[in-house]
Amino acid sequence: MLTGKTALVTGSTSGIGLAIATTLAMNGARLMINGFGDTAAALAQVRQHDAGAVYHGADMSKPAEIADMVASCERLLGGCDILVNNAGIQHVAAVEDFPIGRWDAIIAINLSSAFHTMRAALPGMKKRNWGRIVNVASVHGLVASAGKSAYVTAKHGLIGLTKAAALESATTGVTVNAICPGWVLTPLVQKQVDARAATDGVSNDEAKHRLLAEKQPSLQFTTPEELAELVIFLCSPAAGNVRGVAWNVDGGWAAQ
């Protein structure tokens, strides 16, 4: 379905981003992946479906590296038709205890990076009159939780950025949307499960249940693969007039 299209997924060496990159490749797109950690394993996984997939190691807190990544994608793959802004980090603390460096990093990686990638990729998309931008926000872009001020601020901002960019491209073949997962069991969330298990003195399974029971009525984690399929839909012709939405996949979290 996406044969002939090129895709850049930020933060795609792990979790949700890796599932999105893999699923885009399975659907025929040519991929540039990005992120830290076991980059060779991530690239090998994507290359099972797109032998020509490439990796760029841009740090999403560094605007010059982001500009180089988008330019490299256009140069190496021939364009950047699909842009998924997924890279993200978390830190949990009350406002008065929040380390300034963690605040700055979360705003840079979870919010400003999407401005920098979109700024660089939109001209090519508009020139070709086709593009799909999917911003991986969060249910925390719609509602707040205590202890997550920087994350909630960044994700609310990302949804605002999504809406503004969607309006600016509304008469073109470029769509801009956000997806808003609830709890997804990735390394980012496993850290919070571990912290909860330690604080409450309970098992890993009980900590998972407690986290879900507080917020996510389905009592089930959303899976990275479910989110990847939503990205595929947003890239499909059927979604050509879906613009500026923030689509939650949160087991009912935001319906409460």
Binding site for ligand NAD (CB under 6 A): 11-17, 34-37, 59-61, 86-89, 109-110, 136, 138, 181, 183-184, 186-189
Q: Which helix (H) or strand (E) holds 56?
A: strand 54-56
Rounded to the nearest whole angstrom, what is the least distance from the CB of residue 122 to ligand NAD in the complex? 20
Q: Output the six-digit token pair for 250.
A: 């949160």
**Residue 12 beta carbon to ligand NAD: minimum distance, rounded to whole angstroms:** 6
In the complex with ligand NAD, the residue whose CB is nearer, 27 or 135, is 135
Cα 247 from Cα 219, distance rounded (Å)? 19
Nearer to ligand NAD by C-beta: 105 or 130?
105
| CB 110, CB 138: distance < 8 Å | no
Looking at the Cβ atoms of 59 and 172, the one nearer to ligand NAD is 59
The torsion angle over the Cα atoms of residues 150, 155, 156 and 159, rounded to 10 degrees, is 160
Residue of 28, 36, 38, 82 whose CA lies nearest to 56: 36
Catalytic residues: 151
- Toward ligand NAD, which CB reaches closer, 40 or 170? 40
* Closest CB to ligand NAD among residues 151, 174: 151
| Rounded distance between C-alpha atoms, residue 136 and residue 23, angstroms | 15
Residue nearer to ligand NAD on the CB measure, 27 or 248: 248
Residue 194 Cβ vs ligand NAD, minimum distance, rounded to whole Å: 13
The span from the first CA to the last CA of the chain, in angstroms, equals: 36
| Backbone φ/ψ region at 244: left (φ over 0), alpha (ψ -120 to 50), beta | left
Q: How far is the CB of 191 from ligand NAD (least distance, A)?
A: 8
Length of the chain: 256
- For residue 237, count other CB atoms closer than 10 A to its CB: 6
Transcribe 103-123 into DSSP letters.
Answer: HHHHHIIIIIHHHHHHHHHHH
Query: Least separation, in Å, of the C-beta of 177 and ligand NAD?
Result: 15
Q: For residue 162, what are the contacts with CB-CB under 8 A and spacing of at least 6?
A: 133, 135, 137, 176, 177, 178, 244, 246
